[in-house]
């Protein structure tokens, strides 16, 4: 398909700043104003060019049909029990949003408790969180509109399915935690933003509040705030014995946190600052009386479980229950008076159960390489639920008997493909500085290593997030076309603990890009693919990854698919929650960190006349996590500088945010566009 690209003429303004002694131009800053008519006109003009191209791609409709067929399978969320009732989500396959159900027993016919699909005509209102009261009678639930991080919380009577009059606004980065009497719950909120600032205004000064059922939000009790610490955020949860309010205090996206608590039996009890050093991660697991249990990486970067008696809180009195091992301890739950521990061993799941004294009871058996999740419950529960999934294994839900150690299938999905046709293997390669990095590779069995296979290299590498095997529905369609799907576990993630995370942050961030580039070179050297058959993809921090790598090594890739990426590393901290990412990226206001940021910032490292890979930038106009200005500015400059005849386009989804809650129809459309674009640009739809 030969196409002449008449990209929209993007106006340039004379914005020049001196930052840390460096002169930096920013001619497309006007695109940061998402409300301006000029910006909206630019988005419309760009979409017109982009969709005119996408609509002509030979495989687009075929892929959309196949993706719709693959997507159309019944899937379930992890069940849990509260007040004698079971709750879980279900999607019949193509519903835009999953539906929340309640049942009196696991075998009983469930009834609909909340169907988000009835809340908007286009499926863009999603259920962003929910919590059930201890007696199972009331549900606090949050709704997100258009993919925004902002949530509106309501209360529904589980018995009648009717909403009460309670309505809470300007809630963000918060759940809800009921008191045992069911009379109210704790949650966190921000002050209402100024008009026009809802999707880009900076989020500071979160407050922890208590809402009493039947009252107005204006009457909510302010439990804790810190006017002297604008960056602190609070997560309040009531302990199972209803004795304490446990308060996790977060600051930015750093895994390090503080932990405070309040004795709820004391009238107007003071908030006690139990852990206030901000020297490590302290994940509160639960309590047995005054004994508080924490998963921490203090002096143990791969994690351990400790116990702190709050009547004797001095560090000399802390007890280690489960010591650090070679595997990375990622989560712990307290069920059946035992600790269920979830480890990562080379980025795959291992689950072990220990007694309260830290003695190994058993390891949970899984059916292959994959990822397990769940294992939640209360201290006295004798059952729990979990899922297990892999790249070609859709998530199966299991019930686990904590007494016998037996797993039974609760729900197993049936997807219209044959998993036996594919294989997943794990390889290890060496990065630029000699670091050993794991990578999962999935493809059809019998793949010829001839260097000609279309390869989709996906990465993230940041914020202590681990990429573990999970069902790659869109990649099934890719692999059916003869494609290879490769996922390296880059530094910056949490696969090998906090040391691995820190090795990809701030002044070490270039390690992440080097790891990704080394993965591409390994795939080429080992005859999986070659540069003109290689597509790279990632979202959010992974969008930054793609942007940085395509500007550093444009000749190494045939296609780049940066989604909702952080592209302007000098201004990311000026919007919504962007300031919080400085724990991973560093601060543009710090001279040394500025130098590192400026050296890889995708927007600032595009160069005139360079032939860049065929690029499809994707973002959403309601993204208030990574504001769309990042993608807008990057795409505008890419189109200005690009020296090749291949396309560099931007696709802007309307009524869509950072990704959470995106309706199924929208997901299918976007996936079809990306795959069709990649296959066409790699010359594989001829």
pLDDT band (50, 70, 90) for residue 657: low
Q: Report the relative pairing of strands 648-653 and 614-620 from DSSP bridges.
A: parallel
Give the SS3 label for residue 23. strand
Domain ranges of the chain: 16-69+418-681
| Domain 16-69+418-681 architecture | 3-Layer(aba) Sandwich (3.40)
Strands (E), 634-674: 648-653
Q: What is the pLDDT of residues 477-516, one digit of tens each?
A: 999 999 999 999 999 999 999 999 999 999 999 999 999 9
Q: Which two tokens stand for residue 80?
A: 């849990």
Q: What is the pLDDT of residues 245-266, one digit of tens each?
A: 999 999 988 899 999 999 999 9
What is the structure's pLDDT at 508? 98
Q: Which two tokens stand for residue 218?
A: 């204006």
Q: What is the pLDDT of residues 300-334, one digit of tens each?
A: 999 999 999 999 999 999 999 999 999 999 999 99
What is the structure's pLDDT at 408? 97
What is the structure's pLDDT at 623? 66
What is the structure's pLDDT at 659? 57
pLDDT at 114 over 80: yes
CB 8 within 8 A of CB 49: yes
CB 105 within 8 A of CB 436: no
Give the SS3 label for residue 555. helix
What is the structure's pLDDT at 656? 60
Give the SS3 label for residue 489. coil
Of 426-435, 458-467, 615-624, give the lowest mean pLDDT range: 615-624
Q: Which residues pair with 426 in a beta bridge?
A: 440
Q: What is the pLDDT of residues 343-367, one digit of tens each?
A: 999 999 999 999 999 999 999 999 9
pLDDT at 412 over 70: yes
* Helices 664-681/37-54 angle, 10° precision: 60
Q: What is the pLDDT of residues 625-642, one digit of tens each?
A: 779 999 999 999 999 999
Decide which of 145 and 603 is more confident.
603
pLDDT at 42 over 90: yes
Integer-rounded Cα Rg, in Å, for the chain is 25
CB-count exposure of residue 463 (10 Å: 0-12, 13-18, 19+): buried
The CA distance from 3 to 40, in Å, is 25
393-401 sheet: strands from edge to edge: 371-374, 383-390, 393-401, 407-411
What is the structure's pLDDT at 446? 97
Catalytic annotation present for 144: no
What is the structure's pLDDT at 213? 98
Give the CA distances from residue 337 to residues 47, 333, 362, 368, in Å, rounded to whole numbers and listed in that order.
Answer: 56, 10, 14, 28
What is the structure's pLDDT at 121? 86
What is the structure's pLDDT at 686? 58
The CA distance from 277 to 295, in Å, is 16
Count CA atoms closer than 13 A to 145's CA, side-chain side: 11
The CA distance from 458 to 600, in Å, is 19
Q: What is the pLDDT of residues 524-539, one digit of tens each?
A: 999 999 999 999 999 9
What is the structure's pLDDT at 2? 53
Give the 3-state DSSP-derived string for 261-325, with helices as H, strands as E and coil as C.
Answer: EEECCCCCCCEEEEECCCCCCEEEEEEECCEEEEEECCCCCCCEEEEEECCCCCHHHCEEEECCC
Q: Which residues pair with 271 in a beta bridge?
A: 262
CB 145 within 8 A of CB 120: yes
pLDDT at 244 over 70: yes
What is the structure's pLDDT at 3? 66
Q: What is the pLDDT of residues 174-186, one digit of tens each?
A: 999 999 999 999 9
Of 234-243, 547-556, 616-625, give the lowest mean pLDDT range: 616-625
The CA distance from 25 to 30, in Å, is 13
Give the SS3 label for residue 81. strand
Q: What is the mean pLDDT of the chain?
A: 95
The CA distance from 362 to 603, in Å, is 51
Kindly report the length of the chain.
Answer: 686
CB 245 within 8 A of CB 262: yes
Over range 454-483, report the average pLDDT.
97
* Helices 473-480/664-681 angle, 10° precision: 30
The CA distance from 429 to 369, in Å, is 19
The CA distance from 562 to 540, in Å, is 8
pLDDT band (50, 70, 90) for residue 4: confident
Percent of the chain with pLDDT over 70: 98
The CA distance from 386 to 361, in Å, is 18
The CA distance from 303 to 295, in Å, is 7
CB 322 within 8 A of CB 358: yes
The CA distance from 87 to 333, in Å, is 19
Of 148-152, 290-294, 648-652, give the lowest mean pLDDT range: 148-152
Q: What is the pLDDT of residues 370-407, one digit of tens each?
A: 999 999 999 999 999 999 999 999 999 999 999 999 99
Catalytic annotation present for 658: yes
pLDDT at 658 over 80: no
Give the SS3 label for residue 121. coil
Phi, psi of 10 (to 5 degrees): -95, 120
The CA distance from 491 to 465, in Å, is 10
Among 540, 583, 601, 631, the active-site one is 540
CB 504 within 8 A of CB 462: yes
Exposure class string for 247-275: b at 16+ Cβ within 10 A, else e: bbbbebbbbbbbbbbbebeeeeeebeebb
Q: Could you say which DSSP state residue 77 is in?
A: P
Q: Could you say which DSSP state residue 347 is in?
A: T
The CA distance from 541 to 409, in Å, is 35
The CA distance from 446 to 451, in Å, is 14
Give the CA distances from residue 383 to residues 254, 405, 681, in Å, rounded to whole numbers and listed in that order.
Answer: 33, 10, 51
CB 308 within 8 A of CB 318: yes
């Amino acid at each position: 398909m030969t196409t002449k690209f008449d990209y929209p003429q993007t106006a340039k303004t004379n914005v020049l700043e001196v930052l840390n002694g460096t002169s930096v131009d920013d001619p497309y800053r006007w695109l940061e104003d998402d409300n301006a008519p000029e910006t909206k006109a630019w988005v419309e003009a760009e979409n017109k060019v982009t969709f005119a191209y996408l609509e002509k791609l030979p495989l687009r409709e075929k892929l959309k049909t196949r993706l719709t067929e693959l997507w159309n399978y019944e899937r379930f969320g992890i069940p849990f029990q509260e007040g004698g009732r079971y709750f879980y989500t279900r999607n019949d396959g193509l519903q835009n949003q999953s539906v929340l159900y309640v049942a009196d027993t696991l075998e009983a016919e469930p009834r609909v408790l909340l169907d988000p699909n009835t809340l908007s005509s286009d499926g863009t209102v999603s259920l962003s969180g929910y919590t059930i009261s201890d007696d199972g009678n009331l549900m606090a639930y949050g709704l997100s509109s258009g993919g925004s991080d902002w949530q509106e919380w309501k209360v529904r009577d589980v018995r009648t399915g009717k909403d009460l009059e309670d309505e809470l606004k300007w809630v963000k980065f918060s759940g809800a935690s009921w008191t045992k009497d069911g009379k109210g719950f704790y949650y966190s909120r921000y002050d209402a933003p100024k008009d026009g600032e809802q999707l880009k205004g900076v989020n500071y000064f979160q407050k922890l509040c208590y809402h009493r059922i039947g009252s107005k939000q204006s009457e909510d009790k302010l439990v804790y705030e810190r006017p002297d610490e604008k960056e602190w955020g609070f997560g309040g949860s009531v302990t199972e014995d209803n004795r304490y309010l446990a308060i996790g205090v977060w600051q930015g996206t750093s895994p390090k946190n503080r932990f405070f608590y309040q004795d709820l039996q004391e009238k107007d009890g003071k908030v006690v600052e139990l852990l206030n050093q901000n020297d490590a991660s302290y994940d509160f697991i639960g309590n047995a009386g005054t004994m508080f249990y924490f998963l921490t990486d203090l002096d143990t970067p791969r994690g351990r479980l400790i116990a702190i008696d709050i009547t004797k809180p001095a560090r000399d009195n802390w007890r280690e229950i489960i010591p650090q091992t070679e595997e990375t301890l990622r989560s712990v739950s307290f069920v059946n008076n035992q600790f269920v521990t979830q480890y990562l061993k080379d980025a795959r799941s291992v689950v072990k159960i220990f007694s309260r004294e830290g003695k190994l009871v058993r390891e949970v058996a899984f059916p292959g390489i994959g990822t397990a999740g769940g294992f939640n419950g209360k201290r006295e529960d004798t059952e729990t639920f979990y899922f297990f999934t892999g790249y070609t294994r859709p998530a199966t839900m299991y019930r686990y008997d904590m007494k016998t150690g037996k797993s039974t299938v609760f729900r197993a999905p049936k997807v219209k493909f044959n998993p036996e046709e594919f294989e997943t293997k794990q390889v290890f390669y060496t990065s630029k500085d000699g670091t050993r990095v794991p990578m999962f590779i999935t493809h059809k069995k019998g793949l010829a290593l001839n260097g000609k296979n279309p390869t989709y290299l996906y990465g993230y590498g940041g914020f202590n997030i681990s990429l573990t095997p999970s069902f790659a529905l869109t990649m099934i369609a890719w692999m059916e076309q003869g494609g290879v799907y490769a996922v390296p576990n880059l530094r910056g993630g949490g696969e090998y603990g906090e040391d691995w995370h820190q090795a990809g942050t701030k002044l070490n961030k270039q390690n992440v890009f080097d790891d990704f580039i080394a993965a591409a070179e390994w795939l080429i050297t080992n005859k999986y693919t070659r540069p003109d058959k290689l597509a790279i993809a990632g979202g959010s921090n992974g969008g930054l990854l793609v942007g940085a790598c395509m500007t550093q090594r444009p000749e190494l890739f045939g296609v780049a698919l940066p989604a909702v990426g952080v592209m302007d590393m000098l201004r990311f901290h000026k919007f919504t929650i962007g300031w919080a990412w400085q724990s991973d990226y560093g601060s543009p206001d710090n001279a040394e960190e500025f130098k590192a940021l400026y050296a890889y910032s995708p927007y600032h490292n595009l160069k005139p006349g360079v032939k860049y890979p065929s690029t499809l930038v994707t973002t959403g106009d309601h993204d208030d996590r990574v504001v769309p200005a990042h993608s807008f500015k990057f795409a505008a400059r890419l189109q200005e500088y690009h020296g090749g005849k291949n396309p560099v386009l931007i696709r802007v989804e309307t009524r869509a945010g950072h990704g959470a809650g995106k309706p199924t129809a929208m997901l299918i459309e976007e996936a079809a566009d990306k795959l069709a674009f990649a296959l066409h640009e790699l010359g594989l739809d001829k």
